């Protein structure tokens, strides 16, 4: 099987497989392990301050000389209003009381303590570290940043969850588009206004493939050779792998979280806004059940900021009721092998399957 294509040439990798940028799960060690296999590692920067971004990029470079991408959150920041602050206070009190009922003592931050940053503050750090591939989600980059990346010979990868979003990205001059089906674990990359696209990967990819003229990555539900080959048949040049790596040796998930993953059933995997204010697919627990259909969900990133301390405290207590374990619809054994071994096995199985 010939893996070389336009994507591998653009990304300077041996295989068109991308390790998904899973903020809170991906470590520099996971990125380096993916790169070791000849795949593209993805280092998520989230909304970290520029100095922390630079620190993580340097740590990754020390582990591997191979290419990797850095991943940004390109979301809009909601306007701060008195109404938002009042909602924040009410939500804080509700969540703090809920945690106490489940034996978790935690002090959640006041609104004034929050540090809400946009991706613009990270751009100079990325340029200074000479990163050559930048992926992003939750929105589109503005024209000045796109031009700045082009001027510095940086390849851009945007995320879409609908045809409309794909066309916005292509028209903006984004080099590669990652098409995220509803099956995918973690946060939806959606940014179309006023609705949440809930389109399955096959339907969405088929539409995008016919409508745009840039290389496409398929994301969502790839868990084995057959699913990867199905995406390739649709026309995908790249294949993003996330949930398959959650149990890996380099994953930042704690042992009790990985144990829960390996026991998960299909009925436990849900879409929820409870933890972050944005829809994400993960394992249902007491927090989701208590919060999901209430008024105690703030817009992203305020809900996410509010629940960060709660999730940290819950991890420390190994309490599954208040941690967010993001996972896609394709349930696997969540192998504890290294990222490189998991990807090597996937590549070997795909080559074998393709010759049947």
Q: Is the CATH number 3.20.20.70 carried by domain 1-77+116-245?
A: yes
Check residue 130 and give its pLDDT.
97
Q: Could you give the residue ranges of the DSSP H alpha helices within the chain?
A: 6-11, 28-36, 50-63, 82-101, 120-128, 143-151, 163-171, 201-211, 225-234, 255-261, 286-291, 302-316, 339-354
**If you average pLDDT over every residue of the chain, what do you get?**
96
Band (356; pLDDT cuts 50, 70, 90): confident
Asked if residue 72 has pLDDT above 90, the reply is: yes
Give bridge partners of residue 156 from the DSSP assignment: 134
Give bridge partners of residue 218 from the DSSP assignment: 179, 239
Distance separating alpha carbons of residues 180 and 162, to the nearest angstrom: 8
Check residue 24 and give its pLDDT.
96
Task: Determine the angle formed by the axes of helices 28-36 and 339-354, rounding to 10 degrees.
Answer: 40
Band (198; pLDDT cuts 50, 70, 90): very high
User: Domain segments of the chain: what residues?
Assistant: 1-77+116-245
Distance separating alpha carbons of residues 242 and 138, to the nearest angstrom: 17
Check residue 105 and give its pLDDT.
86
Based on the number of CB atoms within 10 Å of its own CB, is 100 exposed (0-12), middle (13-18) or buried (19 or more)?
Answer: exposed
Asked if residue 278 has pLDDT above 90, the reply is: yes
Band (62; pLDDT cuts 50, 70, 90): very high
Check residue 334 and give its pLDDT.
98
Asked if residue 85 has pLDDT above 90, the reply is: yes
């Amino acid at each position: 099987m010939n893996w070389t294509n336009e994507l591998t040439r653009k990304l300077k990798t041996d295989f068109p497989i991308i390790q998904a940028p899973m903020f809170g799960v991906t470590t520099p060690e996971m990125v380096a392990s993916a790169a070791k296999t000849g795949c593209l590692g993805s280092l998520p920067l989230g909304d970290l301050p520029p100095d922390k971004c630079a620190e993580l990029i340097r740590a990754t470079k020390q582990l591997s000389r191979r290419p990797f991408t850095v991943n940004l959150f390109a979301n809009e920041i909601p306007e701060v209003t008195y109404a938002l602050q009042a909602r924040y206070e009410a939500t804080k009190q509700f969540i703090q009381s809920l945690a106490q009922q489940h034996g978790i003592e935690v002090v959640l931050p006041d609104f004034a303590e929050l540090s809400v940053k946009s991706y613009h503050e990270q751009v100079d750090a990325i340029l200074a570290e000479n990163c050559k591939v930048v992926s992003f989600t939750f929105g589109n980059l503005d024209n000045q940043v796109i031009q700045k990346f082009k001027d510095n010979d940086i390849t851009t990868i945007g995320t879409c969850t609908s045809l409309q979003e794909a066309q916005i990205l292509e028209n903006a001059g984004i080099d590669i588009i990652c098409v995220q089906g509803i099956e995918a674990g973690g946060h939806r990359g959606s940014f179309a206004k006023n609705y949440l696209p809930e389109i399955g990967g096959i339907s969405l990819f088929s539409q995008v493939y016919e409508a745009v003229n840039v290389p496409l990555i398929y994301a969502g539900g790839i868990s084995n050779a057959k699913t990867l080959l199905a995406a390739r048949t649709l026309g995908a040049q790249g294949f993003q792998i996330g949930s398959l790596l959650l149990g890996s040796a380099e994953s930042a998930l704690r042992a009790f979280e990985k144990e829960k993953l390996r026991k998960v059933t299909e009925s436990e995997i849900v879409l929820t806004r409870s933890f972050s204010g944005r829809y994400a697919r993960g394992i249902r627990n007491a927090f989701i059940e208590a919060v999901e259909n209430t008024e105690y969900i703030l817009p992203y990133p305020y809900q996410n900021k509010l629940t960060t301390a709660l999730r940290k405290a819950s991890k420390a207590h190994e309490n599954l009721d208040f941690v967010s374990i993001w996972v896609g619809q394709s349930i696997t054994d969540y192998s504890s092998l290294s990222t490189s071994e998991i990807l090597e096995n996937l590549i070997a199985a795909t080559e074998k399957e393709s010759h049947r």
